[in-house]
């Protein structure tokens, strides 16, 4: 790859008139900010996934205490939701 091509691909030159060129320090701070935001996003996804699991389990407990607890279709759907949530949990764990 030629230097000319690298310069064209670089975002360094995309700036407004009068704006200073980025420094190593400013680029590093921007990168660290992006990493921090990504970490927060992954933590939020983990929290949401955990909340989904809690809600499904709470629904299952409530259903099992209800007068409709012998409804096989609903029981089957609850099992499928738990299996699906387990798969979701596995995928979310791999985000790290």
Per-residue model confidence (pLDDT) at position 5: 66
CA distance 11 to 34: 16
For 10, 15, 44, 50, 67, the CA distances from 41, given in Å and listed in that order, are 27, 28, 5, 14, 41
Given a cut of 80, is residue 87 above it in pLDDT? yes
Quickly state the pLDDT bin for 33 (edges 50, 70, 90). Answer: very high
pLDDT, tens only, 3-26: 666 566 566 567 777 888 878 898
pLDDT, tens only, 67-82: 998 999 999 999 999 9
């Amino acid at each position: 790859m030629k230097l000319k091509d690298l310069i064209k691909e670089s975002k360094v030159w995309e700036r407004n008139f009068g704006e200073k060129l980025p420094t190593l320090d400013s680029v590093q701070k921007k990168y660290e900010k992006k990493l921090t935001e990504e970490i927060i996003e992954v933590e939020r996804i983990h929290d949401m996934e955990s909340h989904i699991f809690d809600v499904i389990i709470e629904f299952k407990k409530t259903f099992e205490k209800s007068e409709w607890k012998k409804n096989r279709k609903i029981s089957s759907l609850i099992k499928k939701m738990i299996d699906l949530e387990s798969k979701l949990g596995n995928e979310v764990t791999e985000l790290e």
